[in-house]
Homo-oligomer: A and B are copies of this chain.
């Protein structure tokens, strides 16, 4: 098992798909905040796991976080420190992003166990 793939349970559960394009510059401050938010997010009720990749050249990134319920995901959206990070994201760090909240209905894996 590769620990960069999230150990999610049998469906249903909630996925938050965050896709973003990082603006030029400010990489140090961004990395610090991203690590802090990943750490804080992992301590929230209902957190199941996270998968995250950013291409350092194109600056396109995809982060998927998994939650027991949609209410758990929305509660994390509204945590004060996270709201502050979201504001900095809109003002400084992201040229564009999409957030999509989804219910996972079925899953498959390789290897199978």
A contact set with B: CB distance below 8 Å: 1-2, 4-6, 8, 11, 15, 17, 19, 21, 51-56, 58, 60-62, 64, 70, 89-90, 94-111
Quick check: B53 and A60 within 8 Å, CB to CB? yes
- Whole-angstrom distance between the Cβ of A48 and the nearest chain B Cβ: 11
Among A6, A51, A89, A95, the most chain B Cβ lie within 10 Å of the Cβ of: A51
Query: In the assembly, how many copies of this chain are there?
Result: 2
Given A51-B19, A64-B19, A5 contacting B105 (CB threshold 8 A): no
Q: Which of B15, B52, B95, B111 contacts A17 (CB 8 A)?
A: B15
Residue of B nearest to A89 (CB): B110
Quick check: A97 and B5 within 8 Å, CB to CB? yes
Given A2-B21, A53-B61, A55-B54, A103 contacting B100 (CB threshold 8 A): no
Quick check: A100 and B53 within 8 Å, CB to CB? no
Residue of B nearest to A112 (CB): B90
